[in-house]
Amino acid sequence: MIYEGQNLTVSLLDNGFAELVFDAKGSVNKFDRQTISELDEATQAIAGNSDITGVVVRSAKSAFIVGADITEFTDMFSLSDEEVLSWASKTSSVFNRFEDLPVPTIAAVNGFALGGGCEMTLACDLRVVDTTASIGLPEVNLGIMPGFGGTVRLPRIIGSDNALEWMTTGKPRKGQQALDEGAVDAVVAPEKLVDAALSMLADAVAGKLDWQARRANKKAPLKLNSNEAIMSFSTAQAFVAAKAGKHYPAPHMMVETVKNAANLDRDGALALENEGFVKLAKTDAAKAQIGIFMADQLVKSKGKKLAKSASKEVATNAVLGAGIMGGGIAYQSAVKGMPVIMKDINQPALDLGLSEAANILNKGIQLGKVKPEQMAKTLNAITPSLEYSAIKDVDLVIEAVVENPKVKSIVLKETEQNVSDDTILCSNTSTISINHLAESLEKPERFCGMHFFNPVHRMPLVEIIRGEKTSDDTIAAVVATTLKMGKTPIVVNDCPGFLVNRVLFPYFAGFSKLVLDGADFVAVDKVMEKQFGWPMGPAYLLDVVGMDTGDHAASVMAEGIPERMQKVENDPITLLFNNERLGQKNGKGFYNFSKDKRGKPKKDAAPEAYELFKPYQAEAKEFSNEETIARLMIPMANEAIRCLEEGIVASAAEADMALIYGLGFPPFRGGIFRYIETMGLANFVELADKYAHLGPIYQITDGVRQMAAEGKSYFA
């Protein structure tokens, strides 16, 4: 043994090759401070051994190296700029020293080689991957950029155009694509990986592969003439501007860094990478996106743990109520290999549900993402029926009928009488109390909420709502089923609107009040989309949701939480609903929906909506971006805080992920609690107090006031 650390070892093989093996104590290999230190020590041990003629780098696990240890970033990035820069420079020098070994090196890659794992392979002279490999630089998803030499080495290996596409999108490559783009030198079967690597290394030692020329190319300036450089980087800048916009600084920084380093050697280019990395590490976007990653890991970990505890396995399920929503749920079950029975009381509804599933699949075929045989298999897994007898043996039933408590209670009661004693019943309700619906059941312990979001096949979140009498076994089984269906479950406790809709409707109320105070709804949409970063402004979102749904849900919320959520007098939403302006579903709401000359859908601010609002509006007024954002976001933040304080949601991290997955909360802001903390709790309290006169939804809790005074954090 030449070197032995906690996370990696180096041993000398019979043929004079050194084998550097990553094998951390945990389930995966990752670059934490300990591993980077050990890599440096191992490199020095290799450099000091004259018997070594080549080095093969591999993993003893099912994945190569999954990246850097993100858990170390939060503390590290809170250090001064100088300290972060020192860390980045020292770490880069570790990879440089490995790259500068006096013998050829090859990476034998299996499974994931992401971020720092990919950069480790780039520091090698040669790369061979097996068919399980996935290689890439996904740092952009964390709001940062590669920091171990990725922006320097990858452009010099595969060209700046390809490298920038890799880095600014963060999309990993499977073996064959990586080979086609020149990032790796061979793709082999898993059982042949090590032998292939050793064979290629032998060829390099024998002079059959010019590893020295490859290495020299990585350490030299980019081979671009001035015209090529202008074309390459202007194209990349335009692509990033269109895709990322102004709220995500990381991809812009990557383009600038590679552009400015094009004429520099490795050391000069690395210095620019280090500087860019530090600047990004200090941005709010990086803090938010790293926070999302950590929160997502928490949510997934809790889901898997709950699923493992399930005593009942759900093999088949049923959806009651076909239509668009029921068809979407049935599709999601079937496409993930779970047979599903779709029941309704009339054939046209069943036909609509089946056509919804078929439409989703047809779009997939048109985009090349679905094969015809997959479409047939999915549709064959959906069994339509008009009879209760068809569902008597299923393991789980998802009720998805009209959002009416009386209708739902009747359907649930009938269903309970037509299924086995251990069948789990769920209601896909968006606002109605699970405790109230449970009153109609003989066994409320096997009942909970299972709230899907529309469109089901696109929205990743499912809220699992625990009622007062819901058993732990029921929750565990439903969480396991949700994961099987390819969705992210977040468990919340029962209350009107649960978590997502409970915090959404104060946001809508803030919007309605702003419009009545003289704001132009188009201007509000523009601010909330362009400045705050929502995918849709509130008026457009309400048009998509439907004014009938919005008005009904607002009534449910008003009845459930009357102290804060009484309906707004002369609410624009209600005015539109009463005048049969339902939004997209009938082509008219805040906006009029039509098609342009090319047949593409378009929306125009509706003069009819302005006329409806005018008798109830104050004089037209322009509100600043800051005031517009404050008047909509303070109510949402306040209600999220109340949900956390009341135990509706277990943690700020889960609340953040629920809003990101369920509402499309801007990821660069990290979720509602990360948004509050980025602003600073004391600043949030001061801002909310400024608008407290507008009503209860603007008035903060004693809890947040105390937290702000004591300097506490929701993420401590």
Look over the chain and give the mean of its residue pLDDT values, rounded to a whole number. Answer: 96
pLDDT tens digits for range 334-344: 999 999 999 99
Residue 451: active-site member: yes
Distance CA 408, CA 438 (A): 10
The model's pTM is: 0.92
- For residue 573, CA distances in Å to 362, 559, 631, 694 come to 34, 17, 17, 19
pLDDT > 90? residue 75 = no
Fold equal for 313-494 and 500-580+614-648+680-710: no
Q: Tell how many helices (H) and how many strands (E) occur in the chain.
A: 31, 20
- For residue 440, CA distances in Å to 199, 319, 401, 493, 546 come to 71, 19, 16, 19, 29
Q: Which among 413, 407, 383, 410 is positioned nearest to 322, based on CA atoms?
A: 383
- CATH class of domain segment(s) 313-494: alpha beta
Return the pLDDT at 272: 98
Is 128:196 a contact under the CB 8 Å cutoff? yes
DSSP state of 530: I
Model confidence at 213, pLDDT cuts 50, 70, 90, reads very high
pLDDT > 90? residue 301 = yes
DSSP state of 294: H
In which residue are the tokens 């290495």 written?
215
Distance CA 368, CA 366 (A): 5
Return the pLDDT at 596: 86
pLDDT tens digits for range 356-384: 999 999 999 998 888 999 999 999 999 99
Q: Which among 518, 522, 583 is positioned nearest to 550, based on CA atoms?
A: 583
Is 160:224 a contact under the CB 8 Å cutoff? yes
Query: Phi and psi for 60 in degrees, rounded to 5?
Result: -90, 0
pLDDT > 90? residue 623 = yes
Three-state DSSP class for 400? Answer: coil
Query: Phi and psi for 263 in degrees, rounded to 5?
Result: -100, 10
Nearest-10 crossing angle of helices 150-158, 266-281:
130
In which residue are the tokens 């976007």 written?
285
Model confidence at 98, pLDDT cuts 50, 70, 90, reads very high
Backbone φ/ψ region at 518: left (φ over 0), alpha (ψ -120 to 50), beta: left
Calculate what percentage of the chain has a pLDDT beyond 90: 94
Q: Which among 133, 109, 125 is positioned nearest to 196, based on CA atoms?
A: 109
pLDDT higher at 67 or 75: 67
Look up residue 570 and give its amino acid: N
pLDDT > 90? residue 598 = no
Return the pLDDT at 392: 94
In which residue are the tokens 């948004």 written?
675
pLDDT > 90? residue 426 = yes
In which residue are the tokens 């929750």 written?
475
Q: Per-domain residue ranges for the chain?
A: 3-282, 313-494, 500-580+614-648+680-710
Nearest-10 crossing angle of helices 625-645, 681-690:
110
Instruction: Kindly write down the DSSP assignment for every residue of 366-393, as one continuous string.
Output: HTTSS-HHHHHHHHHTEEEES-GGGGTT
Is 183:154 a contact under the CB 8 Å cutoff? yes
DSSP state of 61: S
Chain centroid to Cα 377, Å, comes to: 28
Is 318:423 a contact under the CB 8 Å cutoff? no
Given the residues 436, 451, 457, 693, select the one marked as catalytic. Answer: 451
Is 706:682 a contact under the CB 8 Å cutoff? no
pLDDT tens digits for range 138-163: 999 999 999 999 999 999 999 999 99
Model confidence at 226, pLDDT cuts 50, 70, 90, reads confident
Q: Which two tokens stand for residue 602?
A: 């378009």
**CATH architecture, range 500-580+614-648+680-710:** Orthogonal Bundle (1.10)
Q: Which two tokens stand for residue 192?
A: 């042949």
Cβ atoms within 10 A of the Cβ of 504, count? 24
| Beta bridge partners of residue 426, listed in sequence order | 398, 448
> From start to end of 306-350, where are the E strands?
317-320, 340-343
> From start to end of 205-249, where are the E strands?
none
> Which CATH number does 3-282 carry?
3.90.226.10
Average pLDDT of the residues in 393-411: 95
Tally of residues, the chain? 716
Return the pLDDT at 387: 94
Distance CA 313, CA 54 (A): 52
Model confidence at 486, pLDDT cuts 50, 70, 90, reads very high
Model confidence at 232, pLDDT cuts 50, 70, 90, reads confident
Three-state DSSP class for 449? Answer: strand
DSSP state of 222: P
Distance CA 209, CA 206 (A): 8
| Beta bridge partners of residue 593, listed in sequence order | 603
Q: HSE (CB half, 13 Å, CA atoms) of 232?
A: 22
